[in-house]
A and B are shown apart, each in its own frame.
Chain A
Amino acid sequence: MNAKRLLVGIALLVAAQANARNSGSFDIYGYVAYDSTGSLYHVLTPAMSVCFFDPRFPPVSSCSYNYVDASGGTALSLVAPKDATAPATDDGGAAVSLAAPFELYGVSANSLVASSNGYLAAPADASSEDGGDFSQDCPLPAIADNAVATQARIYVYHADLDGGPNAGSMYASYFASCPRASESGLSEACTVVQWRNWALRGQSGALNMEAVLYHTSFEIALQYQTLDASAGTIATIGTQSNNATSGNAYNCGGPADRIFKSGFDS
């Protein structure tokens, strides 16, 4: 490399890092994350959203918050993993049939498994994910350690969550015209998977959150209506590809080291 090319390379690298620091985390595949606050430190607060943009649809540096009520959809019935001792609301998974395909890391899925522990998995079939992964992983990618695991995941708020303490419920709802407009500017359908009155073990406060999955731009909008007392400091928020070859942790055990602990992980 000659000196001129080297300087250009350095300039691009600096620009890329500056961009990352001002915008969002990213991974090998190309997902880029932005939040609704524009905050440098990405401290989760109630009424906040985090968007993950598929690289095939150029991201915009914004992510609106517009919480969608999914309770009119399907109430999800959690199933405990085989041989589990904890109730399904603590460690369990519920199959979510999608009315339209959704692509995660470019791989199309017609169904998902929603976990009681705050993540969505995109298994080849429902039997390939039990939803029982309670251990928050950091950084991403990280091979999941539940007994029947699919690595392709959307970590909405992944930690040892439990629906029991607050009598929580989970819903999935498909909207042919999504009430929350995607950042793509397209009018598109979405599927919303929602955790209502959920709880994080050892933390006070109800957790109300949802994942909005868009079926055209494949944007992922994670919205947090209310938070438990930890405010995401012991949860993983991000995405991960199948076989854990790529991952993007927007939040990974606390926001302070997000850029270099998460953004460059993969």
Chain B
Amino acid sequence: MIERENGAVVGNGSMRLKLWLLALMLCVPLARGAHAQVTNGNFETGNLNGWTLGGQNHAAAVKSTNFSTAVNPPNGGTWFAALSTGPGSLSNTTYNVDGNGVNDYDMTSMQQTVTFTATTSPAMLIFDWNFASSEEDQPDAYDDVFDVQTTVGATTTKVLTGSACKLDGGTGSPYPAAPCTPFATAVNWTITGAAPITNTSLRFGVGNWHHACVDIPGTVVGNNTVTITFRVADQNDNQYDSALLLDNVSVANTCDVASSTLAQVTNSSGSNVQVKNGGIQFTPVDNGPALSTDNTGTAFAFASTGNYTADNPNALQQVFVYDASYSRVTGLTIAAGGSVQGVSLSGTTVGALHGRYVAIAATLNSAASQQIYRWDRQTSTLTQVTNTTGCANKNPSISSDGNRIAWETTCSAYTGQGTTQKIVYSTFTTSWSAPVNFMSAGTPAATCQGFEPHLSRGDTGNFIALRSTCGGLSGAAPVATNGDIFRYAISPVGWKRMTTATSASTNNYSPSIDAATAGNAGRYIYFISDGDYSNVNANEPEIYRYDVSSSTLALVTQSPSNSGYVSVHQAADGTGALFSYEYVNGTDGDFEDGTGNFNGTSVTLKLGASMTASLGADVGVDAGNVPTVVFLSNDDLMSPSQNADGNTEVYSARTP
């Protein structure tokens, strides 16, 4: 098993490798994360190319001069589309658009089938609309209608509907009334010079534009084919005209992609390091492999060879904290040959510090053993948690108060079970307690292991989510070679089991526990598995959430073939709903990092960025309840370029 060498961003190594290979195999020169654009969605071609008309085919691309009183498109541009029921009577063909049994006439539809790759589920249909009707002062029975439908597979859904505004507040259609125009009496505007809808009568003029962003039901993360259909019809007669105006039709991952803020936080190059026997060697900076954010996602601890505090010209890997500015963990100076394996930032804000404590797994030099340390940023005090030789302590997870750390250890001095990797924890009062091997009852003791500990963050770290191959903790020994997901409660002592895989090849990994408080502490555990526990797909690695209070396991994501998730990290907002993810899109082989919001039945995923390689991610939630995914990548994601040298940099993507 190849473990990710990162305490905060730990995933199943073999699965990550598998996905990497998948990504490499499937890498094709597509624009990363790009959705196929709706063809001619802004109609700036001056025509309706790309769209298929139906019914009476009375639609045209129009601009302000096509109205007797100028009508401007929203948000700039010149052209927009108009679907008209006029001019006047077109046909006696009847329809029943709104399903109320009243005949509709002069229906025109406009549709387009779009194939796109979504990184969220559901994907969103975004457009601007304006419904102008001459029926505003007419009896309720003459309630002209429009709707917007999406069709995925055999399922067609009306995602937006509307009917004519009635000045008297009445209605004839089950479709909700659209907003009225500003005019209380007829102003008798017309459409001109736009065959075939020239002379369409808009007795009450045209009002304000409206922006719509609606779910496209049935879309999944991955490839989708959706038919978008706009319809307008004249209800109960074919005399008084109405027109549906449309502009800026698009499909997107989120309603406001522009509001997702991607930033490259670190911007490193390298150092000229003197080499023996003369000469200079340029040493690129490597940020990583360890990264851990505070609860807000604004600060993070990380390992780096950078010279951020002007005292590391020799590009030696050190631990730094970025919290508006850079500081080095000066109590732990790592020599050549030493390394940082993992970091965990305590998360809660203490005074001005976003995350007071940093748990660190590091090897101080080439001859040292890997130990666990805790750095107190407030007092600049380092305490050494472990003191062992000939074994490793790694992947630390620290509690919110900084006084408990859990980690993986191969030290018999702590486990009493040889060099087999177990998880232990230690608690700080006036000093660090002797590490507790809470897995000691696991069987077979000599071989069963523990991995990926994560302490609950809303309390004092009373719960530990982990992966284990041990039996006897909670039920029989896992069948899955790499183990099942468990939760251990320190007080009162107790085990919960999240998975019971039935196949040896099932991969469960990346357990992540919540930061809830009181009775909800330790309630939600997210993890990734290809075990298809919900019997819905073909064993892609998906995100699951286990609710301990109801003992229910929910499938959070569903991926297309050859795609899947690499890591999931639950946010520390305490709701158990927000998380970050790393995902491999099998279509183009790219990694996609973002955040998700799972309410128990449905999930909304928001893409932070797509990239060739994501090297670990974590998540925070700011005071506005906006999640931010912080991740490592050596891609050059910004425009203009900020990482042309391909160093591993820390990026941050805020996803409102």
Interface centre among A137, A202, A243, A247 (most CB of B within 10 A): A243
Whether the Cβ atoms of B310 and A149 lie closer than 8 Å is no
The reply to whether the CB of B187 lies closer than 8 angstroms to some CB of chain A is no
The reply to whether the CB of A183 lies closer than 8 angstroms to some CB of chain B is no
The reply to whether the CB of A110 lies closer than 8 angstroms to some CB of chain B is no
Residues in B with CB closer than 8 Å to A147 are 335-337, 365-367
Residues in B with CB closer than 8 Å to A139 are 310, 313
Nearest B residue to A82, CB-CB = B367
Which one of B310, B318, B333, B367 contacts A148 once the chains associate, using CB atoms below 8 Å?
B367
Residues in B with CB closer than 8 Å to A149 are 335-336, 365
Whether the Cβ atoms of B276 and A146 lie closer than 8 Å is no
Nearest B residue to A146, CB-CB = B336
CB distance from B333 to the nearest CB of A (A): 5
With A and B bound together, what is the CA distance between A137 and B311 in angstroms? 10
With A and B bound together, what is the CA distance between A148 and B365 in angstroms? 6
The reply to whether the CB of A135 lies closer than 8 angstroms to some CB of chain B is yes
Residues in B with CB closer than 8 Å to A86 are 276
The reply to whether the CB of B273 lies closer than 8 angstroms to some CB of chain A is yes
With A and B bound together, what is the CA distance between A149 and B375 in angstroms? 21
The reply to whether the CB of A141 lies closer than 8 angstroms to some CB of chain B is yes
Residues in B with CB closer than 8 Å to A245 are 311, 330
Chain A residues bordering chain B, tally (CB within 8 A):
27
Within 8 A of A (CB), among B365-392: 365-367
Residues in B with CB closer than 8 Å to A136 are 274
- Binary contact readout A159-177 vs B (1 if CB under 8 angstroms, 0 otherwise): 0100000000000000000
- Binary contact readout A85-127 vs B (1 if CB under 8 angstroms, 0 otherwise): 0100001000000000000000000000000000000000000
With A and B bound together, what is the CA distance between A66 and B332 in angstroms? 39
CB distance from A158 to the nearest CB of B (A): 11
Whether the Cβ atoms of B273 and A243 lie closer than 8 Å is no
With A and B bound together, what is the CA distance between A93 and B314 in angstroms? 20
Whether the Cβ atoms of A142 and B278 lie closer than 8 Å is no
Residues in B with CB closer than 8 Å to A243 are 330-333
With A and B bound together, what is the CA distance between A245 and B331 in angstroms? 9
With A and B bound together, what is the CA distance between A245 and B310 in angstroms? 10
The reply to whether the CB of B535 lies closer than 8 angstroms to some CB of chain A is no
Nearest B residue to A244, CB-CB = B311
Within 8 A of B (CB), among A189-247: 201-202, 243-245, 247
Residues in A with CB closer than 8 Å to B333 are 143, 151, 243-244
With A and B bound together, what is the CA distance between A137 and B330 in angstroms? 18
The reply to whether the CB of B192 lies closer than 8 angstroms to some CB of chain A is no
Residues in A with CB closer than 8 Å to B365 are 147-149
Residues in B with CB closer than 8 Å to A244 are 311, 330, 333
Nearest A residue to B337, CB-CB = A147
The reply to whether the CB of B225 lies closer than 8 angstroms to some CB of chain A is no
Whether the Cβ atoms of A141 and B367 lie closer than 8 Å is no
With A and B bound together, what is the CA distance between A201 and B314 in angstroms? 20
Residues in A with CB closer than 8 Å to B330 are 243-245
Which one of A82, A134, A144 contacts B274 once the chains associate, using CB atoms below 8 Å?
A134
Instruction: Given A86-B276, A149-B336, A201-B278, answer yes or no on A144-B367 (Cβ-Cβ < 8 Å).
Output: no
Residues in A with CB closer than 8 Å to B462 are none
The reply to whether the CB of B259 lies closer than 8 angstroms to some CB of chain A is no
Within 8 A of A (CB), among B264-321: 273-278, 310-314, 316, 318
Whether the Cβ atoms of A142 and B335 lie closer than 8 Å is no
Instruction: Given A82-B367, A149-B335, A244-B333, answer yes or no on A143-B311 (Cβ-Cβ < 8 Å).
Output: yes
The reply to whether the CB of A47 lies closer than 8 angstroms to some CB of chain B is no
With A and B bound together, what is the CA distance between A141 and B277 in angstroms? 24
The reply to whether the CB of A257 lies closer than 8 angstroms to some CB of chain B is no
Whether the Cβ atoms of A201 and B277 lie closer than 8 Å is yes
Which one of A134, A141, A146 contacts B311 once the chains associate, using CB atoms below 8 Å?
A141
CB distance from B367 to the nearest CB of A (A): 7
Residues in A with CB closer than 8 Å to B332 are 243
Whether the Cβ atoms of B331 and A142 lie closer than 8 Å is no
With A and B bound together, what is the CA distance between A147 and B274 in angstroms? 15
Which one of B277, B310, B318, B336 contacts A265 once the chains associate, using CB atoms below 8 Å?
B310
Interface centre among A136, A151, A245 (most CB of B within 10 A): A245
**Interface residues, chain B, CB within 8 Å of chain A?**
273-278, 310-314, 316, 318, 330-337, 365-367
Contacts A/B (CB < 8 Å), 30 sampled: A82-B367, A86-B276, A91-B276, A135-B273, A136-B274, A137-B314, A139-B313, A143-B311, A143-B312, A143-B314, A143-B316, A143-B334, A143-B335, A145-B314, A145-B336, A147-B335, A147-B336, A147-B365, A148-B335, A148-B365, A148-B366, A149-B335, A149-B365, A160-B278, A201-B277, A202-B278, A243-B331, A243-B333, A245-B311, A265-B310
**Interface residues, chain A, CB within 8 Å of chain B?**
82, 86, 91, 134-139, 141-149, 151, 160, 201-202, 243-245, 247, 265
The 4 closest A-B pairs by CB, nearest first: A145-B314, A135-B274, A149-B335, A141-B311
